[in-house]
Homo-oligomer: A and B are copies of this chain.
């Protein structure tokens, strides 16, 4: 399981002193990009020059306990499902100092043709790399 860390700074917290919830998704995406990069897959596939897009078509999160300003959070990332044209990732947000889960999230990614919007098969190499990392451990996660 790949791990990415962030400190909940002023950039991510609100007047109540806790994480502004869209920031959870932002950090999930930064974790995802670091993980893809470590696997050897940049997101070059999504750049405007390309003929495909790799949009997220569904995202959800459950917030169990507040993430407070100044806390360091480790984001764990797991592959939950790999289809022909799509894959699902799950994220766990854990406090480093208190070692408890504060939030969970998941995202569904689909490869689509930029012009037609139709789903397209994932590249073989990406699909193989995702399948090799599939995890059933995090079984309580509701995806």
Contacts and interface: CB of A to CB of B under 8 A. Distances in A.
A95 B117 CA distance: 17
A16 B53 contact: yes
A140 interface: no
Give the bracket for the number of chain A residues in contact with chain B. 35 or more
B15 A29 contact: no
Nearest to A33: B9
Interface of A: 7, 9-11, 13-18, 20-23, 25-26, 29-30, 33-34, 37, 42-44, 46-50, 53-66, 69-70, 107, 117
Nearest to A31: B9
Contact of A11 (B16, B29, B37): B29
Question: Helix, strand, loop or mixed for chain A's interface?
Answer: mixed
| Chain A to chain B: the 4 pairs with minimum beta-carbon distance, closest first | A48-B48, A60-B60, A22-B25, A10-B14
24 contacts: A10-B15, A10-B29, A10-B46, A11-B29, A13-B14, A14-B46, A16-B46, A16-B47, A16-B53, A16-B55, A18-B53, A18-B55, A21-B29, A22-B22, A22-B25, A42-B70, A43-B69, A43-B70, A49-B49, A55-B63, A57-B62, A58-B62, A60-B61, A65-B117
